[in-house]
Chain A
Amino acid sequence: MAFDAQPTRKFNVVGTRVTRPDGVDKVTGKAAYGADISAPGMLHGRILRSPHAHARIVSIDTSEAEKLAGVKAVVTGADLAMPEDADFADVAINCLARDKALYDGHAVAAVAATSKAIAKQAIRLIKVEYDPLPHVTDVDAAMKPDAPVVQEGRALENVPAGMSQNVTTYCKFGHGDLDAGFAKADKIIERSFKTAATHQGYIEPQACMASLGNDGRGEVWCCTQGQYMVRANCAAALGVEESQLRITASEIGGGFGGKTSTFIEPVALALSRKSGKPVKIVMTRDEVLKATGPTISSSMDIKIGMTKDGRITAARGELRYSGGAYPNFTVEMGAQAAFAAYDLEAVETIGWNAMTNRPKEIPYRAPGAPTAIYAVESVVDELCQELGLDPLDVRLMNAADKGTLSSYGPTFNDIGLVATLEAAKAHPHYTAPLSENQGRGLSCGFWFNFGGNTCVSLNINDDGTVGVVEGNPDIGGSRASISMMAAEELGVPYDKVRTVIADTSSLGFNDITDGSRVTFAVGLATIEAARAAIKEMCRRVAKIWDIDEDAVIWEDGCAKPAGPNAGTHPPMTLAEIAAIAGNTGGPIAGHHEVNADGAGVSFGVHLCDTEVDPETGAVKILRYTVFQDAGKAVHPDYVEGQMQGGAVQGIGWALNEEYIYGEDGRLQNAAFLDYRIPVASDLPPIETVILEIPNPGHPYGVRGVGETPIVPPLAAIANAVSRAANVRLTELPMSPPRVLKAITG
């Protein structure tokens, strides 16, 4: 769907900072999240998890647990169906293990009991006989031919023979003659990098309440980024039809990609089916960290050649990602994103995924991109240092622009990278003075953005108000943005529109809330649904006025005669038309169904000043500025919020956060005390500069903004720290011991 050819369009609602519709409930404690509802007769579910990194499950004896008073059901993997589709099967096996426990924390059995305390007691009575197997948790170790094999027979056909069976994915992107390109370079730098797995760190643990009868009909209430995805996973794992499951998405306490899969809902349904009662499962933080999605861990080699005046002549990257104990494709996105910011004659990126005995990777905000771009932008920065060049000028000289053949294949349309770099260069932050032990770093960031399958219904209510029904959980204020776009298009005030999120039985299929897609794709569908309603309202008015449909136009929330030839009818407001809809043909609604494309890629640039304490290796962030092309910013507050929140997640990834595994393959820091996400006192204000380069694929020029902001911080901070400490840092997180070791050698 094309950008409206209205370059001078004046928005009335879009671009303002209205109050969000779910706000009052959220500041008064009334909003109902995953764990906040209960049902009469409800049981409490609890899951038993493997203490081993890798073990064959010889037997599971549940008899003692079943005998405990108050226990109403016990389930194991045998109580779930085995879906034929490999992706569904992986989800089911991840919910409850079958023959093997694949990582520390893998679910092996579950109970439902009349109280939380009894459920907790009961799982201790389940006797699991394990046969421990050799394990591997490091990606480089997992790729060695003699590494312990996590799962057999999972490699894609294009993975070369002779590699470890852990290697499941191979991909390659690029164009041009690399040898010729490197031959033209005055300076070539090749470096290797490693990054730790990090967790999305949403504050609300996964929670659900589920009910499934022996007639195959079920209901689930849960916190998720996609109720239709939960339905599909549950239907496959339970062997029931999708139409029989109604999934309602609760308010969601953060996701960042981490709630795009299912962990507990099929288990709760299985327990409910067995017990005949509703079952609630709420994960503990320990379970969230051990068994829900961290992002990938990585090991990467980057080689870039540059002329002495700063032109990149060739670039090559090899990425080795581990997405945990299952086949995983995140490396493909990393390999595509790695060099996307640059206009390159010769570029190649190769990606591998290797299975390890870690939890199944679940997408985390721009999955795959932050690590790859961290490595690339670190090498670009080092080249600038070595050649004595300004790092912003070098980015500008090599920046991708409209018409650039991207490093991953497509040719770019209108993109905002150059404008974003120029904004960073013009900002006072870039030239502010620095003191001893301080350094300034910058990095570009990129994300593809996504459109996807989307349904919207828009109802004109009889009192002249408007109801929008959409199917994507609101994770950061999207209901406000959707209401704003409906109000804009219809020409009614924002507070006349109420947007709700449908359950799976009330609206057609919608892809999950991911890919920064909701404000773009649901917004687009909302605008089209509003246009369909407007068309119908004009048709009704044409009947009343007894003129041609074409002779009625919609302006300022009213139907009006198109011109003098259409007669001198006084305008009819939406409310007037709605009030008599019953006499003109019945209720008025508009709807739109689309698999939206044209999401429009997104670029950002982050500037960061750090101070390194040479005695402890501790890094302090002194100043941080985010520049990003947001397309049209529908609600600037929430655009800024995405930019700030993403930046701070990236700061955590760069400095503190990591999955730490012991020699025994067990996770050593499964608590917020030890898995330390940034707190308020760690941070300076996060300044933001929004650029609005319209996305040609959306009627208002909107593009997704949510994911790009987590991409640049890793390299921006690594570059700042490397400059402050006078030593190149090549491993994340840059925790104090690691920085101190780099300084002292």
Chain B
Amino acid sequence: MKTIPVATTINGDETEFLCHADESLLDVLRDRLGLTGAKEGCGTGDCGACSVMMNGRLVCSCLVLGVETEGAEIETIEGMAKGDTLHPLQRVFLEEAALQCGICTPGILVAAKALLEKNPDPTDTEVRYWLAGNLCRCTGYDKIIKAVQTAAAEMRGA
């Protein structure tokens, strides 16, 4: 099978890659571009560990084909911190111990950031439903929900 050239923007950088027609965006990110922050927990869109933003929309990168990203803007966990300054969500997750093993953390951070961009002042229930597509097996979600709310308050300047 021949590869297809694709031109995208990833975390603000123009990026070109070659991939097969049946290759997922997740495989492109991980295997071809060395961006291993997005994780494959299921490959079927059930766990959210591979969450990235595509043209401003939260997607499971295991359900997007690499070739579909022609001309798209992709944001991954690797683009979330600005230089050595962590995004407030990243910092608060550390401060409030909202991770244990950390495998779901990149996906949850990407998803939580997407939520707060749409809804800067969500209720706990809204956070819980928004993150219902991101499985975490370690924490029971409690500290994750609290950390998202702490970061949200900080980002609102509250």
Q: Footprint of B on A, CB under 8 Å?
A: 17, 19-20, 22-24, 26-33, 35-36, 38, 116-117, 200-205, 251-256, 282, 284-285, 475-477, 635, 637-638, 640-641, 644-649, 671-673, 677-683, 685-686
Asked whether A28 and B90 contact (CB < 8 A) given A203-B135, A203-B136, A686-B140, the answer is yes
The residue among A33, A200, A202, A253 with the most chain B CB atoms within 10 A of its own CB is A253
Q: Are A28 and B80 in contact (CB under 8 A)?
A: yes
Q: Are B132 and A681 in contact (CB under 8 A)?
A: yes
Would you give 16 A-B contacts (Cβ < 8 Å), ordered by A?
A: A24-B86, A27-B106, A28-B81, A203-B136, A204-B103, A205-B40, A253-B101, A285-B41, A285-B43, A641-B138, A645-B138, A671-B42, A671-B44, A678-B141, A680-B144, A680-B145
Q: Are B78 and A17 in contact (CB under 8 A)?
A: no
Give the complex CA separation of A672 and B40 in angstroms. 13
Give the complex CA separation of A673 and B132 in angstroms. 12
Give the complex CA separation of A301 and B20 in angstroms. 57
Task: Report chain B residues within 8 Å CB of A253.
Answer: 39, 41, 101-104
Q: Are A645 and B80 in contact (CB under 8 A)?
A: no
Q: How far is the CB of B143 from chain A (nearest CB, A)?
A: 6
Asked whether A29 and B44 contact (CB < 8 A) given A251-B102, A641-B143, A645-B138, the answer is no
Interface residue? B58 (CB, 8 A): no
The residue among A254, A282, A638, A640 with the most chain B CB atoms within 10 A of its own CB is A254
Asked whether A29 and B131 contact (CB < 8 A) given A17-B97, A253-B102, A637-B97, the answer is no
Give the complex CA separation of A673 and B95 in angstroms. 32
Give the complex CA separation of A673 and B102 in angstroms. 22
Produce 1/0 per residue, B60-90, CB < 8 A to A.
Answer: 0000000000000000111011000010001
Q: Are B145 and A638 in contact (CB under 8 A)?
A: no
Q: How far is the CB of A19 from chain B (nearest CB, A)?
A: 5
Q: Which of B36, B47, B129 contacts A681 (CB 8 A)?
A: B129
Interface residue? B53 (CB, 8 A): no
Q: Are A475 and B101 in contact (CB under 8 A)?
A: yes
Tier of interface size on chain B: 35 or more
Q: How far is the CB of B77 from chain A (nearest CB, A)?
A: 4
Give the complex CA separation of A437 and B61 in angstroms. 42
Q: Are A285 and B42 in contact (CB under 8 A)?
A: yes
Interface residue? B139 (CB, 8 A): yes
Interface residues of chain A: helix, strand, loop or mixed (majority): loop
Task: Report chain A residues within 8 Å CB of B128.
Answer: 680-681, 683
Give the complex CA separation of A673 and B47 in angstroms. 9
Task: Report chain A residues within 8 Å CB of B16.
Answer: none
Give the complex CA separation of A606 and B144 in angstroms. 21
Give the complex CA separation of A169 and B146 in angstroms. 46
Q: How far is the CB of B61 from chain A (nearest CB, A)?
A: 13
The residue among A254, A672, A679 with the most chain B CB atoms within 10 A of its own CB is A679
Q: Are B44 and A27 in contact (CB under 8 A)?
A: no
Task: Report chain B residues within 8 Å CB of A255.
Answer: 101
Task: Report chain A residues within 8 Å CB of B36.
Answer: 29, 32, 35-36
Task: Report chain B residues within 8 Å CB of A671.
Answer: 42, 44, 46
Q: Which of B81, B97, B127 contacts A638 (CB 8 A)?
A: B97
Give the complex CA separation of A205 and B135 in angstroms. 13
Give the complex CA separation of A284 and B1 in angstroms. 23
Q: How far is the CB of B126 from chain A (nearest CB, A)?
A: 10
Give the complex CA separation of A683 and B141 in angstroms. 8
Q: Are B97 and A285 in contact (CB under 8 A)?
A: no
Give the complex CA separation of A253 and B108 in angstroms. 14
Give the complex CA separation of A679 and B43 in angstroms. 18
Produce 1/0 per residue, B91-117, CB < 8 A to A.
Answer: 101111101111111100100000000
Asked whether A202 and B137 contact (CB < 8 A) given A30-B37, A475-B101, A645-B100, the answer is yes
Q: Are A28 and B78 in contact (CB under 8 A)?
A: yes
Q: Are B137 and A680 in contact (CB under 8 A)?
A: no
Task: Report chain B residues within 8 Å CB of A203.
Answer: 39, 41, 47, 49, 101, 103-104, 135-137
Task: Report chain B residues within 8 Å CB of A282.
Answer: 40
Give the complex CA separation of A203 and B142 in angstroms. 17
Q: Are A685 and B105 in contact (CB under 8 A)?
A: no
In addition to A255-B101, A476-B138, 16 A-B residue pairs with Cβ atoms within 8 Å of each other are A27-B99, A28-B37, A29-B77, A35-B30, A117-B22, A203-B101, A205-B40, A253-B101, A476-B101, A477-B100, A645-B138, A645-B139, A672-B47, A682-B132, A683-B128, A683-B141
Give the complex CA separation of A686 and B141 in angstroms. 9
Give the complex CA separation of A290 and B91 in angstroms. 37
Give the complex CA separation of A148 and B8 in angstroms. 58
Q: Are A644 and B143 in contact (CB under 8 A)?
A: yes
Q: Which of A28, A38, A201, A284 contacts B77 (CB 8 A)?
A: A28
Interface residue? B28 (CB, 8 A): no
Q: How far is the CB of B46 from chain A (nearest CB, A)?
A: 4
Q: How far is the CB of A414 from chain B (nearest CB, A)?
A: 28
Q: Which of B38, B90, B145 contacts A27 (CB 8 A)?
A: B90
Q: Give B87's nearest chain A residue, CB to CB.
A: A27
Task: Report chain A residues within 8 Å CB of B105.
Answer: 26-27
Task: Report chain B residues within 8 Å CB of A284.
Answer: 43
Task: Report chain B residues within 8 Å CB of A31.
Answer: 102
Give the complex CA separation of A491 and B101 in angstroms. 29
Give the complex CA separation of A29 and B10 in angstroms. 15
Task: Report chain A residues within 8 Å CB of B22.
Answer: 117
Give the complex CA separation of A477 and B94 in angstroms. 11
Interface residue? B35 (CB, 8 A): yes
Q: Are B41 and A27 in contact (CB under 8 A)?
A: no
Q: How far is the CB of B137 from chain A (nearest CB, A)?
A: 5
Q: How far is the CB of B52 from chain A (nearest CB, A)?
A: 11
Q: Give B125's nearest chain A residue, CB to CB.
A: A681
Q: Give A673's nearest chain B residue, CB to CB.
A: B46
Q: How far is the CB of A709 from chain B (nearest CB, A)?
A: 9
Give the complex CA separation of A201 and B43 in angstroms. 15
Q: Are A680 and B132 in contact (CB under 8 A)?
A: yes
Q: How far is the CB of B91 from chain A (nearest CB, A)?
A: 8
Q: How far is the CB of A705 from chain B (nearest CB, A)?
A: 13
Asked whether A205 and B41 contact (CB < 8 A) given A29-B36, A680-B128, the answer is yes
Task: Report chain B residues within 8 Å CB of A20.
Answer: 94, 97
Q: How far is the CB of A113 from chain B (nearest CB, A)?
A: 14
Q: Which of A17, A33, A648 contacts B103 (CB 8 A)?
A: A33
Task: Report chain B residues within 8 Å CB of A116.
Answer: 27
Q: Give A643's nearest chain B residue, CB to CB.
A: B140
Q: Are B134 and A680 in contact (CB under 8 A)?
A: yes
Q: Give A253's nearest chain B residue, CB to CB.
A: B103
